[in-house]
Amino acid sequence: MKYLISGGSGLVGKVITSKILTQNEQVNWLTSSKKEQKNVSCFSWNIDKNEIDTNCFTNVDAIIHLAGAGVAEKNWTETRKKELIDSRLKSTQLLFDSVKNLTNKPKVIVAASAIGIYKNQDDLLLNEESEQGTDFLATLTKDWENAVNQFENIGIRVVKLRIGIVLSADGGYLQKVAAPAKWGFASALGNGKMITSWIHINDLADLFLFAAKKENLNGVYNAVAPNPVTNYEITKQIAKALHRPFFMPNVPAFALKLIFGEMAAVILMSQNISAQKTINAGFKFEFETVNEALNNIYKKVIY
């Protein structure tokens, strides 16, 4: 297989890339920056100017579409919200407009989506058919999925992975929200009862490649491990995996709202997401419990 990854230089894209290269397959990156990577051919695009180097599609079998500005990177000002929307919708449209004119089209697109699409329903177990939300994040995710659906109209198989909280030593949730634990200040957030539906980064990368290769996979799948935990539990397990104490009081929700504004919704949301459809499709998780995932991640890191 030959892959094209948009946003390949990010947290998830780098791990997918290294797995592809380990399997002696080829990978191109479609990048908005000047980043370079050993053994990867990099092609540029500029979403705002609607420009793309269409050589990126040559002999490509599968597109893995990850590009998007970081949802939890900066506070959600109106300018930032526009960036979050444009980086997902305009990028998908530019991809689609370019691919529809190709004589030799890729066979499949596997696109990132997010569990933020679901309505926040505390501990109710949610599957792919569950009710969707109407807040900023849910609306953005719905529009993003709809943009990706266009590829079906030109005969390309579409798989959308609704990604949960990605656990990795190199960035994302563990680097930001759990950073205080490294200093011995692990602290649950809000009332600590919110359900965190997480996935180990290795499993997520494997799931993208599984979806690209398995020809009978179509539509949406939750990309979360089978055992979600409360925020209190994951914080306790992070402290334990780091051999740090866990005695601090919770950070109250109002403090998070003061610091993060509207974006606090991401931190405080409770999403109990089912992995059943993904398991039924034949995917085998390497890390099924948060214990296993954190022990694997932190065994490599020395603080």
Ligand X SMILES: NC(=O)c1ccc[n+]([C@@H]2O[C@H](COP(=O)([O-])OP(=O)(O)OC[C@H]3O[C@@H](n4cnc5c(N)ncnc54)[C@H](OP(=O)(O)O)[C@@H]3O)[C@@H](O)[C@H]2O)c1
Measured CA to CA, the distance from residue 22 to residue 26 in angstroms comes to 10
CA–CA gap between residue 75 and residue 156 (Å, rounded): 36
- Nearest approach, Cβ of residue 249 and ligand X (Å): 26
Task: Using only the alpha carbons of the chain, give its radius of gyration.
Answer: 19
87 binds ligand X (CB under 6 A): yes
Give the nearer residue to ligand X in terms of CB position, either 19 or 248.
19
Give me the least distance between CB of 161 and ligand X, in Å please: 8
Binder of ligand X out of 10, 106, 133, 228 (CB under 6 A)? 10
Cβ closest to ligand X, residue 104 vs residue 127: 127
> Which CB atom, from 47 or from 241, has the smaller least distance to ligand X?
47
Q: Which range, of 61-69, 150-158, 187-195, 291-299, touches ligand X by CB under 6 A?
A: 61-69
Q: Does residue number 47 form part of the binding site for ligand X (CB under 6 A)?
A: yes
- In angstroms, what CA-CA distances link 35 with 10, 43, 277? 11, 10, 36
Q: Quick one: 23 or 79, whose CB is closer to ligand X?
A: 79
Site membership for ligand X, residue 9 (CB under 6 A): yes
Q: Is 111 in the site for ligand X (CB under 6 A)?
A: no
Cβ 297 to ligand X, closest distance in Å? 14
Written as six digits, the tokens of 251 are 């950070």
Q: At what angle do helices 290-299 and 231-241 cross, to 10 degrees?
A: 30
Measured distance CA(46)–CA(43) in Å, rounded: 11
Q: Is 196 in the site for ligand X (CB under 6 A)?
A: no
| Binding status of residue 12 toward ligand X by CB under 6 A | yes
Q: Are 123 and 270 in contact (CB under 8 A)?
A: yes
By CB under 6 A, the count of residues binding ligand X is 27
Q: What is the DSSP letter of 132?
A: B
Q: Does 33 bind ligand X (CB under 6 A)?
A: yes
Residue 26 CB neighbour total at 10 angstroms: 16
User: Who's near 237: CB < 8 A, 6+ residues apart?
Assistant: 229, 290, 291, 294
Q: Please report whether residue 141 would count as binding ligand X according to CB under 6 A.
A: no
- Which residues would be at the binding site for ligand X (CB under 6 A)? 7, 9-13, 31-33, 35, 47, 66-71, 83, 87, 91, 112, 114, 163, 165-166, 172-173
